[in-house]
Amino acid sequence: MHPASVTAMWCAALFVLAPHQGAAQGEAAQDEAAQNELVRLYSEARAAEAAGRYPAAAQRYERIVAMRPDMAEAHANLGNLYYVQGHQDRAEVSFRKALRLKPGLAAPRLLLGVIHFNRGELDQAASQLAASLKLEPANAMAQLYLGYTHYARKNYSEAVRFLEKTAEQDGGNADAWYHLSMAYGQLSRQYLERLQTEFAGAFETHLVRAHFQESAGNWVDARNELSLALAQQPENHAVRGRIEWLGRRAAGETPQPPSVAPAGEPAREEDGATRYLYHPPSGAAIQSAVAAERSEVVEAGKNLPSSGRQALYRLAEGYQALSFLSSLWVLQTGPGSYRAHQLRAQSLEAAGRLDEAVAEYREVLARKPDLRTIHFAIGNLYWRKGRPEEALPELEAELKLNPRDAQAHYEIADIHFSNGQTAAAEKHFEEAIRYAPAMPEAHLALERIASAAGKVDKALLHLKKVAAISPRDPTPHYRLWILYRRLGKPAEAQAARQAFEERRKSSGGASAERSPIP
């Protein structure tokens, strides 16, 4: 998104240099010459900027701020020009100078927020973006990036709040609708997790789980979940009929889609969010369905304390429906857009159709080559499928766009380690924990490398960090047990073994080994 230019904010300020009353003739002449030079530089800068000659425009503004370092708007304009050229560090310096001179400027705060977001500095991003939005409450770019920032912080409710505002202002904003779909989907999963935790074997829990499986095309798993629900309500003929329908799908048949509740009426329990899957609305009807589902989740949220199980069911189903409807809006309003191809790719990936998913991700890159996460998505698919020679160039391409991608660093490190390139692997594992200090897998990998090199202190440090990050995980205690035994420290080894056994029992006997590195 191109930042809004702020040049119009300060053009009047160029004319405050009129000679002061009573000045000597020579001083007045100097003031007038300086004024004329500023006007000339400003005019040339505006012309160069309008023509897209950003380096030439920046050179003029550099001379202006050298002549008038007290002019906040000039620093802001210079920062804007650095920003559009990709010089984010230089832009930040100019924006901060502008704000020191005039804290009430909204545009520098907005772009500082975007810069912090791009670096993964989410707290600073949220602070600057919120301050910018306070100064300009209707600024769609600030709202959008606050939505992005809260999403990245896993604060999905807040992300939805700002993304919905952006979508309301600009119904065709595919970026806002795409991220709404993602945020709604995460909220649906969160409420399903709560439902499973608080009401593990409840009828509603099995229904939501069935609808998740059905939406992913996992017919057998969906039928099994509904069968568990039916065991609690044997007289529920609607659920029984849906089980029969799913059985036919599982057998490879293509029966007619099930009938669902008419538009405008609440979803039936056996349908849930899947009613839109088989009978999707189109055009304005999508927005009507979105409004209805939003109303449902708001009401369910109000009722959550008093009617926990039913409210959690409605929230999980409602947000799942909103996720699908938001995706549908992107696909219908911009079927050839990069966001539409991204949604198709993600759907194919979820269905396990690797090659088709990669082809769709390639379509995304053809439309927006600089979009982050796409090269990673392709590389991650190849990495998980055991095709490292195809994964590596994609992961490296992602790092060129986003050097702070911790998971890309981790997967590159894993590939190097598997190829016996320990030094390169260690470098990328270190980068992974630099940007994601709480990544236990990277710490475990670094512990193995350190142990093999005889660097005991470093190995112990990484294991202790994993134990602090994941206190219930038996893995670091298992590794500590082995390490202390090798060091001839029986007391420490015994303590580590006891901690390992306690956590292994509480986790149901899960394997202690999580790291993919042998």
**Do 161 and 203 have their domain in common?**
no
Contacts for 493 with CB less than 8 Å, ≥ 6 apart: 480, 481, 484, 485
Among the three residues 137, 166, 195, which one is the final residue of a domain in this structure? 166
Contacts for 66 with CB less than 8 Å, ≥ 6 apart: none
**Do 195 and 136 have their domain in common?**
no
**Do 147 and 205 have their domain in common?**
no
Q: Is residue 366 part of a domain?
A: no
> Each residue of 337-377: pLDDT tens digit?
999 999 999 999 988 899 999 999 999 999 999 999 999 99
Its domain, for residue 492, covers 458-518
> Each residue of 118-159: pLDDT tens digit?
988 999 999 999 999 999 999 999 999 999 999 999 999 999
HEC sequence for 459-494: HHHHHHHHHHHCCCCCHHHHHHHHHHHHHCCHHHHH
d(CA 2, CA 362): 24
Encoded tokens for 337:
């857009």
**Do 145 and 214 have their domain in common?**
no
**Do 135 and 182 have their domain in common?**
no
Q: What is the pTM of this model?
A: 0.86
Contacts for 246 with CB less than 8 Å, ≥ 6 apart: 214, 219, 220, 222, 223, 226
Q: How far out from the chain centre does Cα 314 lie?
A: 25
Angle at 166 between CA 163 and CA 171, to 5 degrees: 115
**Do 215 and 322 have their domain in common?**
yes
Q: Is residue 445 part of a domain?
A: no
Among the three residues 265, 299, 333, which one is the final residue of a domain in this structure? 333
Q: Is residue 214 part of a domain?
A: yes
Q: Is residue 362 part of a domain?
A: no
Q: Is residue 349 part of a domain?
A: no
- Distances in Å between the Cα of 456 and the Cα atoms of 347, 442, 512 are 45, 17, 20
Residue 516 has pLDDT above 50, yes or no: no
Q: Is residue 351 part of a domain?
A: no
**Do 206 and 162 have their domain in common?**
no
Over the chain, what is the mean pLDDT? 90
**Do 53 and 192 have their domain in common?**
no
**Do 33 and 151 have their domain in common?**
yes
> Each residue of 96-129: pLDDT tens digit?
999 999 999 999 999 999 999 998 899 999 999 9
> Each residue of 289-322: pLDDT tens digit?
999 999 999 999 998 887 789 999 999 999 999 9
**Do 316 and 209 have their domain in common?**
yes
Specify whether the CB–CB gap between 163 and 183 falls below 8 A: yes
> Three-state DSSP class for 235?
coil
Among the three residues 278, 308, 333, which one is the final residue of a domain in this structure? 333
**Do 204 and 261 have their domain in common?**
yes
Domain count, the chain: 3
More confident residue, 515 or 40: 40
For residue 138, the domain's CATH number is 1.25.40.10
Q: Is residue 144 part of a domain?
A: yes
Q: Is residue 438 part of a domain?
A: no
**Do 16 and 77 have their domain in common?**
yes
